[in-house]
Structure 1
Amino acid sequence: MVRKRGKPGSGGDEGENVRGERLGKNKRSCIQVIAVTSGKGGVGKTNVVANLGYALTRLNKRVLILDADIGLANLDVLLGLTSKYNLQHVLNGEKSISEVVISGPGGMKILPASSGVQELSNLNKAQRLCLLSELNSLHDETDVLLIDTSAGISSNVMYFNLAAQEILIVVSPEPTSITDAYAIMKILFLKYSENHFKLLVNSVKSAEEAKEVFYHLSLVAQKFLNLSIDYWGYIPQDEHIVKAVRRQKALIELYPNSPASKSFFDLAKKVCENQPNVSSRGSIRFFWSQILENQEALPLEVL
């Protein structure tokens, strides 16, 4: 089984060494590591990641986005960018991490993972240490790391959610979306003791509809799992979103005063207010060490 989460500071030797490095002589500031996930596809998760990232850059945050939607990685397409390389090229020793990372709107950086993440479990110890060292070079250039996970409950989704500091679940008002959002929280809680979730309700007609979705989901989670969920707001239905997608641009870049853009700025402010403390898992090296550890430890039934 994967190592269950406990109080900050607990964990294996590798985790302790990483924390020591972070809190010791380097004295690096913590970064925020947020996995953006959903129980089902089609809820606008990738669009949320793109516009949240852009909004954060407008608030003077240095943003790195990991496009980890395995098999359906399309963040670059959504933003009209060209991605020639991905994490697989780093694993093969063909490219450095700086050659793989691409620049997005507002100055945010994007690291395409593609199918490369599936190969992490096949790396030997030397390759893993090399990868961690190279990825760690991104730490000083990053304030917020956003992970655009795949939808559903596959092993890759679990890897990223368990390694992040925060899990932001994107849900729509559709009953199937609500049911699937509950399912992913249930698995993460019952199997891996993950008990911190944030909820964003996307594509709603009103604030009242969003609150109704949140109330329903949090009520069920509290009743059957004794689990509380933090409400991180909503994104309203907005015709400008479709227009931006067709033009392959971030909504905020084209229509900064649209209703949805204002909600994305509210979400970005919420992220900034939720600053990690010193004891949090606030380094890119620790995040990736957890990915590598979870690759080996997750049970087959998650696959």
Structure 2
Amino acid sequence: MHSPADINAIPAANGTARPPVRVIAVASGKGGVGKTSVSVNLAMALVHAGQRTLLLDTDLGLANVDVMLGLSPQFTLADVFAGRCELQDTLLEGPRGLWVVPAASGKRHMTELLPQQHIGLVHAFCQLDLPLDAMVVDNAAGISDSVLTFCQAAQDVIVVVCDEPASVTDAYALIKVLSRERGVTRVQVLANQVNNAIEGKQLFEKLERVSARFLDVTLHYLGAVPRDEWLRRAIQRQEAVVEAFPGCPSALAFRDIARRANSWQSPVGPRGGVEFFMERLVAHGASAASTNDPLRSAVA
């Protein structure tokens, strides 16, 4: 794996444009449901599955992805917004070559950025010439503008819920706002910290019933992560559970979730709104259109 200093020197295969990056945003209506643990372990499980993956922390004021992985950043997104460094300077190399872009913790002004600044951060990823297959975005909890923008800019959104009434209620509120204000029409639901598979499916069905009645959005059940003492131990060790205890129940669940995520249809081109890695989507869409154009094919 290359160091951050060398990464932009890596040429794309055969001199062609970089392929699209599958961007997965992880969000929750309320805090305390294990959203960041899901983000960290999903990203690591994707790496284990052979996906070159970047984990982006966008909990801009209370970030902790770097802490959960035992990393010590020199620069964070706060430094990018302050003009002290470029986005590529924040890159950290984590376990097994996982790339991490850390945010700042205890910086209240980072929670007060303007909507244009959130969009600017999304656009900044066009400048990252990384050989990536996937990016996992760990969002703040709730329905702030940053959460809505970063979810809108991803191809897939995972909403994490646990077995608490407030978690389900707030998850519905998040899905409603994403659907009505940002045009998100498909959401993956992940039940976390459940006692068994039946409990996880019941949580999803509660959310699906009310969403089907009032919202124009399709919910898919991504699966459940069991309550697991090994996961708690991994968090204390500042490691992903898929690394620390790969055979435990929660690690197996994350591997299964990553396998399902790998089966989702890859983006074929831009959707027309704000999106991460837009230039790659545009280039890929143009290439696909050229390949499918019978006149161009005949001339070639």
1:200 deviates by 0.5
CA distance in 1, matches of 2:112, 2:265: 31
Which residue among 98, 103, 107 is the counterpart of 1:113? 103
Root mean square deviation of aligned Cα = 2.7
Aligned to 2:31: 41
Query: Which amino acid is the alignment partner of residue 277 of structure 2?
Result: R
CA distance in 1, matches of 2:16, 2:123: 16
Aligned to 1:247: 237
Structure-to-structure mapping, 1:117-128, within 5 angstroms: 119=113
Between 84-93 and 31-40, report the one with greater CA deviation: 84-93
Conserved? CA contact 1:35–1:161, under 8 Å: yes
Deviation readout 1:178-198 (Å, 9 max, x if unpaired): 110001111111223321111
CA distance in 1, matches of 2:48, 2:127: 24
1:90 deviates by 2.8
| C-alpha distance 132-153 of structure 1, shift in aligned 2 (>3 A) | closer
Structure-to-structure mapping, 1:197-236, within 5 angstroms: 197-236=187-226
CA distance in 2, matches of 1:226, 1:88: 36
CA distance in 2, matches of 1:117, 1:99: 21
Aligned to 1:22: none
Deviation readout 1:201-245 (Å, 9 max, x if unpaired): 001111111111111111111012243201111101110011111
**Greater relative contact order: 1 or 2 (C-alpha under 8 angstroms, separation 6 or more)?**
1
Query: Which amino acid is the alignment partner of residue 193 of structure 2?
Result: S
Which structure 1 residue ranges, 5 or more long, are not aligned?
1-24, 288-303
| C-alpha distance 284-226 of structure 1, shift in aligned 2 (>3 A) | closer
CA distance in 2, matches of 1:238, 1:280: 39
Structure-to-structure mapping, 1:167-206, within 5 angstroms: 167-206=157-196
Which residue among 93, 99, 108 is the counterpart of 1:103? 93
Conserved? CA contact 1:100–1:112, under 8 Å: yes
CA distance in 2, matches of 1:118, 1:78: 24
Structure-to-structure mapping, 1:50-61, within 5 angstroms: 50-61=40-51
Which structure 2 residue ranges, 5 or more long, are not aligned?
1-14, 280-300
How many residue pairs get aligned? The number is: 260
Query: Which amino acid is the alignment partner of residue 78 of structure 1?
Result: M
1:121 deviates by 5.3
Matched, 1:256 2:246: yes
1:107 deviates by 1.2
Which residue among 113, 129, 148 is the counterpart of 1:158? 148
Query: Which amino acid is the alignment partner of residue 233 of structure 2?
Result: K
Partner SS, residue 24 of structure 2: strand
Query: Which amino acid is the alignment partner of residue 269 of structure 2?
Result: S
Matched, 1:271 2:254: no
Partner SS, residue 143 of structure 2: coil
Query: Which amino acid is the alignment partner of residue 203 of structure 1?
Result: Q
| C-alpha distance 142-207 of structure 1, shift in aligned 2 (>3 A) | same
TM-score by length of 1: 0.78
Between 248-257 and 89-98, report the one with greater CA deviation: 89-98
| C-alpha distance 225-120 of structure 1, shift in aligned 2 (>3 A) | closer
| C-alpha distance 137-155 of structure 1, shift in aligned 2 (>3 A) | closer
Conserved? CA contact 1:165–1:280, under 8 Å: no
CA distance in 2, matches of 1:207, 1:122: 41
CA distance in 2, matches of 1:122, 1:32: 23
TM-score by length of 2: 0.79
Query: Which amino acid is the alignment partner of residue 46 of structure 1?
Result: T
Partner SS, residue 164 of structure 1: coil
Partner SS, residue 141 of structure 1: coil
Matched, 1:62 2:47: no
Conserved? CA contact 1:204–1:234, under 8 Å: yes
Conserved? CA contact 1:234–1:263, under 8 Å: yes
